[in-house]
A and B are shown apart, each in its own frame.
Chain A
Amino acid sequence: MSEPVLRLEGITKRFGTLTANDDVTLELRQGELLALLGENGAGKTTLMNILFGHYTPDAGRVVAFGHELPPGKPRAAIEARIGMVHQHFALAANLTVIENVIAGTERLFSFGLDKSSARAKLKELSARFGLAVDPDARVGDLSVGERQRVEILKSLYRDARILILDEPTAVLTHQEAEKLYATLRGMAEKGLSLIFISHKLHEVLAAADRVVVLRGGKVVAERRAAETSKDELAELMVGRRVARPQRDVQAPGAVLMRATSVDVMSSGTKLLSEVSFEVRAGETLGIIGVSGNGQSALGQLVSGLAKPTEGRLEMLGKEIQAPSPRSFVAAGVGRIPEDRNADGVVGDMLIWENAVLERVRGSEFSAAGFVRRTPSRAFAQTVIERFDVRGGTPDSPIRLLSGGNMQKLILGRNLATSPRILIAAQPTRGLDEGAVAAVHAEILAARRAGTAILLISEDLDEILQLADRVQAIVRGRLSPAIPIGAADPRRLGLMMAGVWDEAA
């Protein structure tokens, strides 16, 4: 193996009482694809921010190509030919690809932009690394996968030899992610050195040469990807054995929610088209699909936020005439929104306020227009205890909770009242392995208790583990349901591609 191009030595970083990185040492070699694996909060992003000069470490040093980098200077990292692709892209949507790429590199005092030499260089880079993208397309018109390529090209344009990618697949579909890793492999073969941050085990195993596992800010293990397994990595990452809970066989009961040929229109566009499904008591119906195929509209329909423009939606045997979030909650529908930060919680409000917000108009939590604070706090405390929400009391702001604990609170506030129907839209998106297991266990417990569960997910494993029957959502249409016993990844893949006549 060749020389290390980058070395982090004894990096320690504290935030107040929290030690985010504790004496972390790690090496990256030329032409290597290194995965940095760890749960949310393990210190991966902090470490990369130190490397890139966004944070100054309390101890330790960063050495790139034999030279120590001055701490806290992103410019020095760029000059040392290190590039970083953040999870949230830093692109101007109203500019073209080429304008985004050269922004910040052109001379301060010059009239007009010298795009021709930039274009030549960009084309050469695109071709060499297989990052196809039209230089004159407006970034706002590009897909998420294409935007990510632009971000990578931006770093390459600045002659990066070391590339750091923070959770690069978090926003990508399955296919886009696979394509990205193929590209990254190609880049490593052409001599670039790359680090990517991830908490997805299968990606790490499939793509990386070497895996460094971080837990609680420390490096706990280093493995060659070829010599380790999913189980070992999961155990190293979480620090204990985690097994996702399994589903028991049980006979479903009565149909509690049924949609018959439902259309949903919004400002002239048909978001859902002739959607039919039924969910029974004690059964989980899984809706699988590639992101952006109508999942949001479906989630809104079954949460009381969208009205069917055609067709019937029945709940507990009665047709819903005027859906509203309040009437759904009152009827015993528990709702987990797909984006917990945007729709699930009000970050600046307290945990107890968030716990009761959707049912505060009931007599349990309010009287004569006043909020009954004692029972509200008690309810929040019950949810915290029963669903093991860590990191806050009923009186702390909810944004202090981690994603997993926030999700447990959202789940808990719905399940504490034993709903008849549970809508779970992307319930484990962005959660770490431990939190996923906890959320799955609760969903299965609700199923055992006879709740009818509608699970909307983009995660194949999740659907296979939790669902009893599966339907695929493709461009606002639903496939017929198939029992989970007949669903293997290949057949589901075909259904997700819109081929269900053969599959049925």
Chain B
Amino acid sequence: MRLERRANIPLSLAIAAPIGAVIAALLLAGILIAIAGAPVLEAYQRMLIGAFGSRLSITETLTRTTPLILTGLAAAVAFRARLWNIGAEGQFYVGALAAAALGSEHGLHLPSYALIPALMVAGAVAGAILLLVPLALRLRFGVDEVVTTLLLNFVAVLFVSMMIEGVLKDPLAFGWPQSVPIVGDASLPKLIARSRLHIGLLIAVGLALLIWLIQSRTLFGLESRAAGLNPSAARFAGVSLTGVLVKVACLSGGLAGLAGAIEVMGVKGYVTTDLSPGFGYTGIVVAMLAGLHPLGVVVAALFVATMFVGADGMSRALGVPSFIADVIVSLSLLTMLVGLFLTSYRIRR
């Protein structure tokens, strides 16, 4: 037996890989559920009910999906161009902070139709700047951006902490560290009344479509793909690698920052240091499960959100700790990596 590299990966396999990976992850997690003393099939059934069993649970799942689509796109766009942005978590927070600061009553005073786009742009710009700094270090001094973007996450969260304990602290929050709330005009319209689901979902899905269009149809898409796949050949063909990376960083950091802004404007209304349950990091899993495809990101984000929301329901019904969702999502990243390996090779006797 030996492995041979496949000359060509058929589309059917490319789609089967993530599905197989998810099934494998669920099977493996099933062992843990059994150890926790719950019936495995019922547990997964409860999970589905928890995620889709009622109007409330469906809207909650979709609300969870929204930031994951955006951080997933942030990772997918960057990884395609071989910009290893591990800093979506930090970019999410600075985006959230920018939206909260400018959207509070001390911030911009604009009518709703202008305020909402302005805050989104502000969040995206903040996120992009936070990624442009490590990119500049890489281009100028060859500093590995995996390290710098990862470490900047902690810097960003501590900066948020400083701001919400300081100048942005909400005096009416009984001493809790949270920012002053945004004004009513800054909150996103609801998609469905009496739920938390807001129009951010449409924006995220729309952006996924837009990025797919950009990647497959535009000059920038063609050149950034070439730069990611073979930088040397791209340079020979006249593609400016620096230019491509700067644009990709703006897009990637911008998407993560936008995710933070939308979470503040659509769900919370203010910033805390637990605004994100790891949306930035989970975005990496989402992007990998999606095979870095922007439309795949939407599906993968829905899957991950389903796990997280569903696990709460399962936990309530069967007493299995809801941390099982983290386990399933992490396992699916591992099984996906194995799946990617297996699809790019074939087994020969």
Contact = CB atoms under 8 A, between A and B. Distances in A.
B238 A366 contact: no
B172 to A, nearest CB: 48
Contact of B218 (A54, A344, A358, A369): A369
B219 interface: yes
A319 B236 CA distance: 21
A346 B219 contact: no
A371 B218 contact: yes
Interface in B209-256: 217-223, 225-226, 229-230, 232-239
**Category for how many chain B residues contact A:** 20 to 34
B349 interface: yes
A137 interface: no
Interface string A333-345: 0010100001111
B229 A371 contact: no
B286 to A, nearest CB: 22
B12 interface: no
A325 interface: yes
B222 A347 contact: no
Contact of A342 (B222, B225, B233): B233
Contacts of A72: 1-2, 349
A349 B229 contact: yes
Contacts of A486: none
A259 B238 CA distance: 22
B237 A358 contact: yes
B232 to A, nearest CB: 5
Nearest to B227: A346
B236 A325 contact: yes
Interface string A52-92: 00111000000000000000100000000000000000000
A361 B8 CA distance: 29
Nearest to B4: A15
A329 B233 CA distance: 15
A348 interface: yes
Given A329-B238, A361-B219, A370-B219, A349 B349 contact: no
A357 B237 contact: yes
B219 A305 contact: no
B238 A324 contact: yes
Interface centre among A349, A366, A397, by most chain B C-beta atoms within 10 angstroms, is A349
B222 A353 contact: yes
A360 interface: yes
Contacts of B237: 325, 357-358
Contacts of B218: 369-371
A54 B217 contact: no
B7 interface: yes
Contacts of B239: 357
A347 B229 contact: yes
Interface string A371-385: 101000000000000
A399 interface: yes
A331 interface: no
B348 interface: yes
Given A346-B229, A370-B217, A325 B235 contact: yes
A344 to B, nearest CB: 6
A492 B345 CA distance: 47
A254 B1 CA distance: 62
Contacts of A324: 238
Contacts of B348: 55-56
A349 B217 contact: no
A357 B8 contact: no
A344 B233 contact: yes
A395 B229 CA distance: 17
Contacts of B217: 370-371, 373
Contact of A400 (B1, B2, B8, B223): B8
Contacts of B225: 346, 349
B238 A325 contact: yes
A371 B238 CA distance: 16
A349 B226 contact: yes
Contact of A348 (B222, B229, B232, B349): B229
A400 B239 CA distance: 24
A193 interface: no
A227 B229 CA distance: 49
Contact of A303 (B220, B223, B233, B236): B236
A247 interface: no
Contacts of B232: 342-343
A54 B225 CA distance: 34
Contact of A366 (B7, B8, B219, B229): B219
A312 interface: no
A200 interface: no
Given A348-B229, A397-B8, A400-B7, A343 B236 contact: yes
Interface string A298-335: 00000111000000000000000000111001000001
B234 A305 contact: no
Interface string A426-468: 0000000000000000000000000000000000000000000
A373 B221 CA distance: 13
Contacts of B236: 303, 305, 325, 335, 337, 343-344, 358
A360 B218 CA distance: 10
B331 to A, nearest CB: 28
Interface string B138-174: 0000000000000000000000000000000000000
A366 B349 CA distance: 47
B80 to A, nearest CB: 11
Interface string A214-256: 0000000000000000000000000000000000000000000
A161 to B, nearest CB: 26
Contacts of B235: 305, 325, 343
Contacts of A353: 222, 226
A259 B348 CA distance: 54
Contacts of A326: 238
Contacts of B1: 72
A72 B233 CA distance: 37
A51 B146 CA distance: 44
Contacts of A304: 238
Nearest to A74: B2
B241 to A, nearest CB: 12
B7 A399 contact: yes
A493 B238 CA distance: 36
A366 B222 CA distance: 11
Interface in B1-51: 1-2, 7-8
Contacts of A56: 348-349
A303 B235 CA distance: 11
Nearest to B217: A370
Given A56-B349, A357-B233, 19 more contacts: A54-B2, A55-B2, A72-B2, A72-B349, A329-B238, A342-B233, A343-B232, A343-B236, A344-B233, A344-B236, A345-B230, A345-B233, A346-B230, A346-B233, A361-B219, A366-B219, A370-B217, A371-B219, A371-B222
Pairs A-B, 3 closest by C-beta atoms: A325-B238, A326-B238, A358-B237
27 contacts: A54-B2, A55-B348, A56-B349, A304-B238, A325-B235, A325-B238, A337-B236, A342-B230, A343-B235, A344-B233, A346-B226, A346-B230, A346-B234, A347-B229, A349-B225, A353-B226, A357-B226, A358-B238, A360-B222, A360-B223, A361-B219, A369-B219, A370-B217, A370-B218, A371-B217, A371-B222, A400-B7
